Structure 1
């Protein structure tokens, strides 16, 4: 078994284990090595929003793919745990983008549907999974539906959840091991979607001030929870607060650790 195959198997097993997989998303080498030094961290996921921001780009495939991949490759080479990449919506060719990521050692990834017609979204899922098979691995695709992200504020919630479930079930039928539903935070709605998709099939993001604790999500049958761009925002909040303190005549926090 190659290292690539081993990492892919490990990542898949982490998604199907009884314990929820908790991922603090990273955006560069120092954030990756800092997170992996935390006891209990068994895998990493990159955040496309955060990587784009690092280079001064807006989110949404505005960062050039090669620059995005270069940073992800640096992260993969710096750590010894499986890495999942945020593929955004595939940069126009989801299969080819996934293949390039796999060449760097990536063994899983998010793929946004951006509410394209379902047959197109399913075809993109199939293309990514084929890229994995062509490389000899079971690529751990976290197939994302943007049904809640792109919905109108006054949209009917029951209809929205029905669409989430319809798309999620289609992605699972196409071979995706898990389905990612951003902005799903209500306990009862999570239960409805998790029950419809099946145990250990739903993954979520943990927005500050709105998310349920990982322990409760595990009890609801959620497979994975990640942090997206919010971990970078935590770091930037600490940076801005420290800058304000020292510019205002204070000093840096005594609790600062030498992590670089």
Structure 2
């Protein structure tokens, strides 16, 4: 795993981002790897929905681990898992869960600071302790802040500059705790993205969605990682539905 983790870490280069077209099972992993992907990453929504469960840690933890185990065994490239909130709140259980996740063969994980199932975010200090608990597993931790995603889902402004100061505070705390990348989903303003990349102490990951700048602009902004979240799953399922509808019409 160490060689694959080093390989994965080396792909995170500001201004030359690694592109992670998110997958959800062994079949989609093989398909995207066959397309030339140097690494893979699951999306929590996609993986849960593919198994009949809602996003937000709705999938049973043991089934989640089994899915990751199958994915990691199916491909030869590094795999990162969307770990959501770690299926636990306290650091002790997070350490146990992260160790089990690492044993599946994945090399990294997304780990978010929202309170899963709640309304807000963990405090900076509390989330830093949680990041440290996950990082102790040896996984490459992509620390996600939901500061910009929460307003997007609430119909507000996901590019509110007043949030940047706290975002940078969180990035620094998460780095100190052992995170190796900083994920800012929701953010879409190219100037705000560029400033985040310049000022954050970690490589920056953004998520593609409607209204996002193109890859050339993100590259120029200094982004180190671009992911697609639930988009590949949603588009694949929409196409399947359209083809079925045409067949049965």
**Do both proteins adopt the same fold according to a TM-score greater than 0.5, normalized to the shorter chain?**
yes
Contact 1:87/1:97 (CA < 8 Å) preserved in 2? no
**TM-score normalised to structure 2 length:** 0.90
1:169 Cα offset (Å): 2.1
The 1:108/1:215 distance shift into structure 2, 3 A limit, reads: same
- Give me the CA root mean square deviation: 1.6
Q: Are 1:158 and 2:154 counterparts?
A: no
| Residue pairs, 1:83-122, within 5 angstroms | 83-92=79-88, 93-114=93-114, 115-122=121-128
Instruction: Write the distance in 1 (CA, Å) between the matches of 2:206 and 2:95.
Output: 24
1:173 Cα offset (Å): 2.6
Partner of residue 254, structure 1: none
1:185 counterpart (185, 188, 191): 188
1:14 counterpart (6, 11, 15): 11
SS at match of 1:212: coil
Rg: which structure is higher? 1
Instruction: Write the distance in 1 (CA, Å) between the matches of 2:124 and 2:59.
Output: 26
Partner of residue 32, structure 2: 35
Partner of residue 65, structure 1: 61
Partner of residue 143, structure 2: 143
Partner of residue 239, structure 1: 240
Contact 1:23/1:45 (CA < 8 Å) preserved in 2? yes
SS at match of 2:109: strand
Partner of residue 118, structure 2: none
Q: Deviations over 1:103-161 (max 9, x none)?
A: 111111000110101111001111111111xxxxxx21100011112235456912222
Q: Are 1:212 and 2:213 counterparts?
A: yes
Aligned length: 236
Deviation larger for 13-22 or 186-195:
13-22
2:78 counterpart (72, 75, 82): 82
The 1:233/1:5 distance shift into structure 2, 3 A limit, reads: same
**TM-score normalised to structure 1 length:** 0.86
Partner of residue 201, structure 1: 203
Q: What are structure 1's unaligned runs of at least 5 residues?
A: 133-138, 249-260
Q: Deviations over 1:153-186 (max 9, x none)?
A: 4569122222222212221232311100110111
Q: What are structure 2's unaligned runs of at least 5 residues?
A: 115-120
Instruction: Write the distance in 1 (CA, Å) between the matches of 2:149 and 2:96.
Output: 26
Partner of residue 175, structure 1: 178
1:95 Cα offset (Å): 2.1
The 1:177/1:246 distance shift into structure 2, 3 A limit, reads: same
